[in-house]
Every structure is written in C-alpha cells, then in structure tokens.
Structure 1
Amino acid sequence: MEHIFTGLLVLVTIAITWFAGYVVYRLYSDQR
C-alpha cells in the first residue's frame, strides 16, 4: 500500500512539473 502511494505521489509530482514547464514554454513562445 505504501509503495502504491509513493508511486502515485511521484507520478503527480512529475505531472505537475511537466505541466508547469509546458505553461512557461507556451508563455515564452507566445511572447516572441
């Protein structure tokens, strides 16, 4: 059970980081 929770937490962290990076990339590309 603990391994599943840890894996889910890592997955969510990666998803949030990727989404934040994608948003920043879109903002920079729109400014040019």
Structure 2
Amino acid sequence: MGRMSVVAFEIFFLVLLAVAGISMAWFAGLVVWKLFKGQR
C-alpha cells in the first residue's frame, strides 16, 4: 500500500465523517423544530 492510497483512504473517511456529522446535526435540528412546533 503506497503513500497515495493511504491519503485517499484518509480523505474518504474524513468525507464520510463530515457527511455523518452534517446529517446528525440536520436530524437533531429537525427533532428540535418539531418539538417546538408541537408545543404551540
């Protein structure tokens, strides 16, 4: 396994981590929004 494939592997997992973080934040925001909307 060369140096280039290690860098590509790292970038792939960083992108995966970013996508997971963004989707979790969006879902948390959606839940909070629905909770506040349901209180009215």
Residues in 1 aligned to 2:30 and 2:16: alpha-carbon distance in whole angstroms: 21
Structure of higher CA gyration radius: 2
What is the TM-score with the length of structure 2 in the denominator? 0.78
Unmatched tracts of structure 1, length 5 or more: none
What value does the CA root-mean-square deviation take over the aligned residues?
A: 0.3
Equivalent of residue 31 in structure 2, options 1, 23, 31: 23
Residues in 2 aligned to 1:6 and 1:24: alpha-carbon distance in whole angstroms: 27
Q: After TM superposition, give the deviation of residue 25 of structure 1 in Å.
A: 0.1
Residues in 2 aligned to 1:4 and 1:26: alpha-carbon distance in whole angstroms: 33
Question: How many residues in Structure 1 have an aligned counterpart in Structure 2?
Answer: 32
Counterpart position of 2:10:
2
Q: Which runs of 4+ in 1 moved over 2 A?
A: none
Residues in 1 aligned to 2:34 and 2:12: alpha-carbon distance in whole angstroms: 33
